[in-house]
Amino acid sequence: MAKDVIIACDFKSADETIKFLDRLTRIRDEVVSCDDISIGAGRPYVKIGMEAFYAAGPELIKKLKERGHKVFLDLKLHDIPNTVKKTMQVLGEYGVDMVNVHAGGGIEMMKAAKEGLMLGAARYADKPKLIAVTQLTSTDQATLRDELLIDKPMADVVRQYALNAKAAGLDGVVCSAFEAADIHAACGDDFITVTPGIRFEDSASDDQKRVMTPARAREAGSDYIVVGRPITAAERPIDAYVRCKEEFLQG
């Protein structure tokens, strides 16, 4: 199964995003050859979230695809099945590589999302991956119990939501690296785990509560790690990116 590092480009505008990626790739082209195994050929896989997408829209996605990036469009759709299906069709037409929904929308909604996405992506040979958010990492056991009135342990809820996503035909879930092994055990090795909350041994945790290093995430079975500030806020982002790839892919 393909494993990769996805850079979370949490910038407010298309300009800032492109400026950052220009800086990253310009230095990259100077210091490493395209077939360097630690980086891989082509441009880095990037994640675009709601902030940048609502500010810059499809134009930004188009630009990133033209530049050769793989794009994970992290919009976490959650609505009635018909609306999600039609919206996913639009997103599929952009040629994105990965997109997501909230598993909390239910199996019918997730099935509709997949149908819409595949309709939109019909002309692309490489079909986009559709993954689900199980529970947000900002939701803790107390929130689950007191606000959502769910009495089950968080691990059971996350596992069940992952099973629902699999039943709907989705490719995987976004989860904590700490949950990756349990999800693979329940849903199979082919069911992908995309894990944020990644930090180097010597970097700040910022606002992330449960963090793991790239090497530990690999051991835990993560298929893709999503890394933001340890790369985007580094003095030399290219060094941080290369380090991340090396630790995650080679140990």
Is 14 or 89 the residue whose CB approaches ligand C5P more closely? 14
Q: Which is nearer to ligand C5P, 8 or 212 (CB)?
A: 8
**Binding span for ligand C5P by CB under 6 A among 87-95, 141-149, 152-160, 224-232:** 224-232
Whether 65 sits among the annotated catalytic residues: the reply is no
Q: Could you give the CA distance from residue 179 to residue 34 in angstroms, rounded to a whole number?
A: 34
Q: Does 143 bind ligand C5P (CB under 6 A)?
A: no
Q: How far apart are CA 192 and CA 180, in angstroms?
A: 9
Burial class (CB in 10 A: 0-12, 13-18, 19+), 9: buried
With tokens 């290093």, the residue in question is: 213
- The residue sitting closest to ligand C5P, measured at its beta carbon, is 228
129 or 229: CB nearest ligand C5P: 229
**Least CB distance from residue 207 to ligand C5P, whole Å?**
7
Least separation, in Å, of the C-beta of 8 and ligand C5P? 4
**Residue 102 in contact with ligand C5P, rule: CB under 6 A:** no
How far apart CA 208 and CA 230 sit, in angstroms, is 12
- Work out the number of other CB atoms within 10 angstroms of the CB of residue 37: 10
User: Helices 180-187 and 154-167 meet at what angle, rounded to 10?
Assistant: 40
Q: Interface residues with ligand C5P (CB under 6 A)?
A: 8, 10, 49, 136-137, 174, 196-197, 206, 208, 226-230
